[in-house]
Amino acid sequence: MNPAVLAIVSVLAGVLVGAGGVYAFMVSERKRGHVDEPVPTIGDGAAEVLSVVGRGYVVVDSTNGVVKANPSAYAYGLIRGHSLVHEELRSIADRVRRDGVVEEAQFELPRTPLGGASIVVFVRAAALGDEFILLLADDRTEVTRTEAVRNDFVANVSHELKTPVGAISLLSEAIDDAADDEEAVRRFAKRLFIEAKRLSALVQDIIELSRLQGTNVVIKGQRVSIDAVISEAIDRNTMSAEAKSITIRAGRPLGAYVHADAEQITMGLRNLIDNAIRYSPAGTTVGVGARLVDGVVTVSVTDQGPGISPEDQERIFERFYRVDAARSRQTGGTGLGLSIVKHVFTNHGGDVTVWSHEGQGSTFTVRLPQMDESAVADENEREMP
């Protein structure tokens, strides 16, 4: 058991043993009709120790009635009124009371009576004196979620890497076997180049996503012109647009600034424009427009592609999710582009949404808070010679 927890339990045990003795004496006296005072609660000394525990705690009596608890325990949804809400917690308290042995367990519990949202808590239970049980609860919800996301990500990456790596291996063997057939060698070499390019794009997206998750925008951010970002994102997609005879049409300059990592939001918008180009028919137009409303900078990217069904719209920002896996492979998509977009703008205190109708194209919209104008003026003054 954690030494810090043992120390806390030991101190509380000393305080509460005395309380337990008084409690037993008063019960005995009450049975003989000598006193009418109510059963005592935890003394001030124990309350002071509990106040510095740094986690959710509940102290229950012999009937699992709540004697004392801190706000965290209520926030976790462990208590309602003066009772433990969950049978799992009552059971662990009963076992400790019966066996006198410290128990530890992790539970996923509903946070409200209506179900829905749940919380993952790691609970340590120990006896305090003869009458009380202490339950210490750590909120492990975010840790558990992050671990699940990481495991899922690793599994997905492994699966996605198998396809291009396997294809490269097979194509290499085919080229070797067809060494005397010049036409076959050219055909296999061309396919090999495509798979190698796809593998390179996938690895690059994985690196970018990993880098995004470790970047603190608050610290690294600076004043960034949204017009400059849009222009740079369009420039980075010019060649791919020209290859499909697609016109990228930009709206008028906005003249607004945001607090951001310029490279990150450029990458986010570049991915949106690239996605629009990939799924648009040749000879169509991709529109990029910006506007400022109530202190929020909004940038929209509109295409004339096939559109996205309502079911798919709910999942397109998930890692490796593809509306049409076969088509995505044909266009060279990695399945990470929109996930990167979501991470970029969420990290900047913004968001990304999609409007789409099958057969009518799609519009992806990102929003960012405008940088405070007084901050911009101050920075301009500092930059003057």
Residues 40-46, mean pLDDT to the nearest whole number: 56
| pLDDT the model gives residue 27 | 46
User: How distant is the alpha carbon of residue 354 from its chain centre?
Assistant: 19
Where in the sequence of the chain do the CATH 1.10.287.130 domains occur?
142-214
pLDDT value at 70 more than 60:
yes
* pLDDT winner (highest mean) among 75-84, 199-208, 291-300, 340-349: 291-300
Residues 103-119, mean pLDDT to the nearest whole number: 76
Is domain 142-214 given the CATH code 3.40.50.300 in the classification? no
Tokens of 28: 């005995």
Tokens of 250: 């930009």
Query: Considering only CA atoms, which of 142, 98, 152, 103 is closest in space to residue 119?
Result: 142
Residues 57-78, mean pLDDT to the nearest whole number: 87
Q: Which CATH superfamily is domain 3-139 in?
A: PAS domain (3.30.450.20)
| pLDDT the model gives residue 103 | 92
The answer to whether the pTM exceeds 0.95 is: no
Where in the sequence of the chain do the CATH 3.30.450.20 domains occur?
3-139
Where in the sequence of the chain do the CATH 3.30.565.10 domains occur?
218-385
Residue 228 banded pLDDT, cuts 50, 70, 90: very high
231/39: higher pLDDT: 231
Residues 344-371, mean pLDDT to the nearest whole number: 88
Look at 76-80, 175-179, 313-317, 338-342 and tell me which has the smallest mean pLDDT.
Answer: 313-317
Tokens of 114: 């209506």
Query: Cβ distance 196 to 204 under 8 Å?
Result: no
C-alpha to C-alpha distance for 257 and 269, rounded to whole angstroms: 15
For 316, 326, 350, the CA distances from 343, given in Å and listed in that order, are 13, 25, 10
Q: What is the dihedral of CA 72, 74, 75, 80, to 10 degrees?
A: 170
How high is the mean pLDDT of the chain?
77
Q: Which CATH number fits domain 218-385: 3.40.50.410, 3.30.565.10, 3.30.70.20, 1.10.443.10?
A: 3.30.565.10
| pLDDT the model gives residue 123 | 93
Considering the chain, what percentage of its residues have pLDDT values greater than 70?
Answer: 67
Please report, as a single letter, which amino acid is at residue 378: D
For 377, 378, 379, 380, the CA distances from 384, given in Å and listed in that order, are 11, 10, 9, 6
pLDDT value at 47 more than 70:
no
Query: Cβ distance 271 to 341 under 8 Å?
Result: yes
C-alpha to C-alpha distance for 50 and 68, rounded to whole angstroms: 9
In this predicted model, what pLDDT tens digit does every residue of 246-255 receive, in sequence order?
999 999 999 9
Q: Return the number of other C-beta atoms located less than 10 Å from residue 367's C-beta.
A: 17
